[in-house]
Amino acid sequence: MQNWSTIEVQDLDVLTDDEIRDVVAWFTTKQTPLSQREADILSEGEMILQHDEIEVRDYWNDVASDAEADADVLASAGWGTDEDYGDYGGDSY
């Protein structure tokens, strides 16, 4: 993992999402208290990633069919088919 100790808030604009995740991970696992600059960087990085996650969740509202979205909800609630849980009809033990 790269050492992000010299990064500034404005530097986040030119980083990829993976690099921003690395920055957030680096600051959240730091063993010493964060300075105000570091806390600002962490906060901004989390806001950028949160915005991206909201856009990913919009897939189910904008792109997925109703059946696909319903199947995902049922599977996450424990009411999915065997295939939703990785069982494709192999030998039972």
46 vs 84: CA distance, rounded Å: 31
Q: Determine the straight-line distance between the first and last CA of the chain, rounded to whole angstroms.
A: 42
Going residue by residue through the chain, which has 93 residues, state the pLDDT in tens, using 9 for 90 and above.
577 888 999 999 899 888 998 999 988 888 899 999 999 999 999 998 887 554 545 555 666 677 777 777 777 777 766 666 666 666 655
Q: How does DSSP assign 38-74, residue by residue?
A: HHHHHHHHHHHHHHHHHHHHTHHHHTS-HHHHHHHHH
pLDDT digits (tens, 9 = 90+) for 74-90: 777 777 666 666 666 66
Cα-based distances in Å from 83 to 34, 65, 66, 91, 92: 46, 19, 19, 14, 14
Domain ranges in the chain are: 10-79
